[in-house]
Structure 1
Amino acid sequence: MLQRQHYASTAEFCDRKRYEATNGDFVSTHFEVMPLPGARSVKAVIDALQIFVYNIEISLSEVVGDITVRENDDAKPGSPVAQHRLVATIGDMVQTDTNNVAFAEYRPAGPPGSGEHELGLMICDAVDEDELFPYRPQTRVRQDMTQITMIATHHTGTGEPMIVMTRWWCLRIRKSDIYVSPFVVERIRNGVEKVGEAMLATARRAAAAGSTSM
């Protein structure tokens, strides 16, 4: 992600790919660089994104329109580590299993002259096995999500500081014994993209709020 971002760290960029893997999984990847003009605080943006992820089952239900419920206990607000065991009903046709662990970290800027800028990181990855909340392949389709989000300060071509959101994610809809129609696959993929758009909107609102409070 850092190698790709290096070439245009403050220019808006987006690259999407969708394909069927050789094992039959449906895969979608998404990489984007989104500058946040007016943002003054990395921490304000990362805090807003953490709240969004903390309420992810509510966000999914509202943004996508498919009912999503949490099977594990709620994460603690502001916790740097959280597990999200979610079940969604897609178009009243198929249920999906999602089990992710999410990590968040904020690093404040270093002393003046150190060159160490604010940095916010959010990473989530799929849980492969969970004895407490096992996958149910006979009745649900497994949906794996890996995502890396970085909020950092870069400099434009004129040397002006700019807070930028860089994000890469990979959605893998596992091959299943359950028939998954093209409609359902497309709905899942589009739903994940809608959630990504909602996260970006959250970051932009936090950036705008930070700029007006300065």
Structure 2
Amino acid sequence: MATDSNGVTTETNTIVFVQLFESGDLRFGGEPCAIVASDSVDEDELSPYQPSEHIRKDISGGVVMTASRQKKLVTVEEDGEATPDDDEIVVTMRRAGYLKIHRPEFPIWPLAQQELEGGIGDWGKVMIKTMRELLYAIT
């Protein structure tokens, strides 16, 4: 749960799955690949939604990260001569998501609703932050 500056509390219940595919898996060109999938929980007996008190936000999304080797760009040394570099690993991240804000069972000020709608893109920032935390935890 989170409460914004307008005093509106939102609740989210999301489950996340993470899978890392090692090098050699032909489905991903033989290169390592990481997949993160998240989905909202419809019903939870241990933590039921409280629509009379909070606004429910459902978040579903996915992130796919692939790694590939590419030639580094040629760099120029201090003496002005160009030198070829080795390969470098380039990580590409693709993401998609869906966010639904449920209509609350209580009245909400128009400004508060506009701010909720304006913050829809924030889930992407949270997803990227989570991915970074996962990446740095693995390495």
Is TM > 0.5 for Structure 1 vs Structure 2? yes
Give the length in aligned residue pairs. Answer: 117
Greater RCO (Cα-Cα under 8 Å, separation 6 or more)? 1
Among 48, 67, 81, the residue aligned to 1:153: 67
Amino acid paired to 1:125: D
Return the offset for 1:161.
Answer: 6.6
TM-score by length of 2: 0.67
Q: Deviations over 1:23-76 (max 9, x none)?
A: xxxxxxxxxxxxxxxxxxxxxxxxxxxxxxxxxxxxxxxxxxxxxxxxxxxxxx
Do the aligned residues in 1 keep the contact of 2:6 with 2:112 (CA within 8 Å)?
A: no
Return the offset for 1:187.
Answer: 3.0
Identity %, equivalent residues? 27
Listed as ranges, the gaps of 5+ residues in structure 1 are: 1-86, 210-214
Do the aligned residues in 2 keep the contact of 1:141 with 1:178 (CA within 8 Å)?
A: no
Equivalent residue number for residue 93 of structure 2? 165
Q: Judging changes above 3 Å, is the alpha-carbon distance between structure 1 residues 169 and 108 closer, same or farther for their aligned structure 2 residues?
A: same
The within-5 A match list for 1:73-88 is 87-88=1-2
Equivalent residue number for residue 131 of structure 1? 45
Q: Judging changes above 3 Å, is the alpha-carbon distance between structure 1 residues 195 and 128 closer, same or farther for their aligned structure 2 residues?
A: closer
Q: Judging changes above 3 Å, is the alpha-carbon distance between structure 1 residues 101 and 184 closer, same or farther for their aligned structure 2 residues?
A: same
Do the aligned residues in 2 keep the contact of 1:94 with 1:184 (CA within 8 Å)?
A: yes
- Residue 141 (structure 1) aligned with residue 71 (structure 2): no
> How far, CA to CA, are the matches of 2:68 and 2:117 in structure 1?
31
- Residue 196 (structure 1) aligned with residue 110 (structure 2): no
Amino acid paired to 2:115: R
Alpha-carbon RMSD:
3.2
> How far, CA to CA, are the matches of 1:101 and 1:175 in structure 2?
22
Return the offset for 1:89.
Answer: 0.7
Among 19, 23, 29, the residue aligned to 1:105: 19
Structure number with greater Rg is: 2
Listed as ranges, the gaps of 5+ residues in structure 2 are: 71-87
Return the offset for 1:131.
Answer: 0.6
TM-score by length of 1: 0.45
Among 171, 177, 182, the residue aligned to 2:105: 177
Q: Deviations over 1:65-99 (max 9, x none)?
A: xxxxxxxxxxxxxxxxxxxxxx1112142111110
> How far, CA to CA, are the matches of 2:126 and 2:10 in structure 1?
21
Q: Judging changes above 3 Å, is the alpha-carbon distance between structure 1 residues 116 and 142 closer, same or farther for their aligned structure 2 residues?
A: same
| SS of residue in 1 equivalent to 2:48 | coil
